[in-house]
Amino acid sequence: MRGLDRRFTSRTVLFGLDLDIAPGEFVAVLGDTGAGKSTLLRILAGMDRETYGRLTLPERRAYVFPDARLLPWARVLDNVILGLNDRRRGHLALAEVGLAHRADAWPSALSEEETHRVALARAFVRDPELLLLDEPFRTLGSPGRLRMRELLRFLLAKHRPAVLLATQDPDEAIDLADRVLVLHEGGLVPDGLGKE
Ligand SMILES: Nc1ncnc2c1ncn2[C@@H]1O[C@H](COP(=O)(O)OP(=O)(O)OP(=O)(O)O)[C@@H](O)[C@H]1O
């Protein structure tokens, strides 16, 4: 990413951002509400093209929404393989997140934590080169968050995508990431607390 700007009519949310993420590297972006974290991730996911600047992105990208966002009218397996149509891979992805037995369930029958596990299965089944995590466990309580962090570590060790995590939680950022950046007033700056 070189010189990336995103302007909305009333304000510039991202201003001249430069960022490189190496294959397999985990970068966390910390920022307050409204700092522009989701705006940045949506651009990298390809959901927003109204930008200035230069972006080079890998083809296989996956985006995990804050609220997991499953389609309520599709069973769990169909949610996982949305757009892929590969039931075998879907079953394997569900087994990886400990939900092989929930393939035929409806999303409404899942617990909150199971819903987030399915969202991770839907991301990893695509074998992404770049995984975009937008405050993925925000709605879970602390025990659930910790279990999801462990699951995420397991999945990352197995699949090794590059990761960009948006979060408001410094503990989560420092615990998971190789490098932590802060998004503030439209710019990205190192937080000084990372593991570099
Ligand atoms: N489509 C849009 N039109 C106008 N303004 C927008 C649009 N999308 C986002 N914004 C503005 O951009 C700013 C950044 O929003 P964004 O959702 O990226 O913040 P965030 O850091 O993800 O916050 P949160 O942690 O609350 O999700 C906000 O002021 C928001 O109102």
Are 176 and 26 in contact by the 8 Å Cβ rule? The answer is yes
User: Mean pLDDT across the stretch 113-134?
Assistant: 97
Element at 40 (helix H, strand E): helix 37-45
Burial grade of 42 (CB within 10 A; 0-12, 13-18, 19 or more):
middle
- Binding-site residues, ligand 1, Cβ < 6 A: 8, 13, 31, 33-39, 168
CA distance 160 to 81: 20
Are 162 and 21 in contact by the 8 Å Cβ rule? The answer is yes
Q: Mean pLDDT over all residues of the chain?
A: 93
Ligand 1 atom index nearest CA of 66: 27
Helices and strands, number each (H, E), in the chain: 6, 9
pLDDT at 193: 55
The answer to whether ipTM exceeds 0.90 is yes
The predicted model scores a pTM of 0.93
Q: Which of 4, 17, 29, 38 to probe ligand 1 with, by most ligand atoms within 8 A of CB? A: 38
pLDDT at 192: 64
Q: What is the pLDDT of residues 87-103, one digit of tens each?
A: 999 999 999 999 999 99
